[in-house]
Amino acid sequence: MNSNSVAENFATYHEIVTQTDAWQGALTAVANQTPALRKLWRNGNYSNIVFTGCGSTYYLSLAAAALGQTTMGIPAKGVPGGELYLYPQATYVPAALGRTLLVAISRSGTTTETVVAAENFKKHERGDVIVITNYGESPLAQGADVAIAIPEGQEVSVAQTRSFSSMYVAVTALIMTLAGREELLTSMAGLPAVGQKLITQFATLARTLGRNLDLDRFYFLGSGPRYGLACEVNLKMKEMTLTHSEPFHFFEFRHGPMSMVTESAAVIGLLSDENRARETAVLQEMAELGGLTFSLAENDADVSFKSGLPEAVRNVLYLPILQLVAYFRSTSKGLNPDRPSNLTAVVELDLLTN
């Protein structure tokens, strides 16, 4: 058996390369709940939206909030579930300023901080709760006003890959549904086919980058709705490979962190359409400092999507290849990507509603 086939024996590999099936499941799940979602939105009279989760789904919340505020024209923020539990007054607007829509995101639907934060939110009558999860029978889903469950995203592995991307597709479709952006929502039907094409086309490139053990640090750059995704792929690199990894907004990387760029550093850019020239300039500067640069974009990049899809709905395409990079680095280091050190799939704590 060759080294490639050995590396592909882990559950994480299967979950990454089959994730586009879960994307389709996410689109179907949102479509099935469209009447309930539109009714909730129509009657909610919300002044703001809060997206929340823990770990990976907190980063998903950051990406969702940036996309939601841009698309819907309503204030939105992403906040960790633990912060909603500990410091709700720092997040929620006073009741006199309007109702809040809470979008709680959790792979398992049992993560304690998120469950308790949602329970406290309902107890204090701050507004309504939409839940996005891979387990429809979970406590979080059962307490929601509307639950979007995507069983196709369920995983064996600890590190989230397929589950994260499926829930990100769902939150993108949710935003487009509530915003009434039918043309963008319709275009999302093309995502699974494009995603599968990218996995097939760029898996070898991901393997080559991931197996380059001369690299000892990774920096993921993304701005706007891509910053949360940069945070997430950074987390995959940390979890699976135990490698120094950090996420930054493009321009922020110049303000100190670039001092860490050497020939052993990889600087990976999630390039946008609107600000591509400015973002590419940052990568060029890092290459001049000796760093290895790697780009993902719709066109003319190391990984070119060539999707033809609107930018607002195609951001999930940044994920699969970078997940594979982390996966192949993990196996090249002799680690178990399915069971990262010191981690469990669900964090459960002894917390009380208040």
* Helix, strand, coil in percent for the chain, rounding step 5: 55, 15, 30
Residue 12 identity: T
Cα separation, 267 vs 54, in Å, equals 26
Query: Nearest Cα to 10, choosing from 343, 342, 339?
Result: 339
Architecture of domain 3-189: 3-Layer(aba) Sandwich (3.40)
Residues 230-239 have a mean pLDDT of 97
Start-end of CATH 3.40.50.10490 domains in the chain: 3-189, 190-332
138: helix, coil or strand?
coil
Strands, sheet with 244-248, edge to edge from the N-terminal-most edge strand: 244-248, 217-221, 265-270, 292-297, 303-304
Q: What pLDDT sits at residue 340?
A: 72
pLDDT in tens, 123-165: 999 999 999 999 999 999 999 999 999 999 999 998 999 999 9
Strands (E), the chain: 46-53, 76-80, 99-106, 127-133, 146-149, 217-221, 244-248, 265-270, 292-297, 303-304
Residue 62 pLDDT exceeds 70? yes
Cα separation, 14 vs 21, in Å, equals 12
pLDDT in tens, 276-327: 999 999 999 999 999 999 999 999 999 999 999 999 999 999 999 999 999 9
Residues 75-95 have a mean pLDDT of 94
Residue 116 pLDDT exceeds 60? yes
Cα separation, 29 vs 189, in Å, equals 13
For the chain, the maximum distance between any two Cα atoms, rounded to a whole number of angstroms, is 66
What pTM value is reported for the model? 0.95
More confident residue, 66 or 158: 66
Residue 233 pLDDT exceeds 80? yes
Q: What is the CATH number of domain 190-332?
A: 3.40.50.10490
Q: What pLDDT sits at residue 343?
A: 52
Instruction: Check if the beta carbon of residue 10 is closer than 8 Å to that of residue 338.
Output: yes
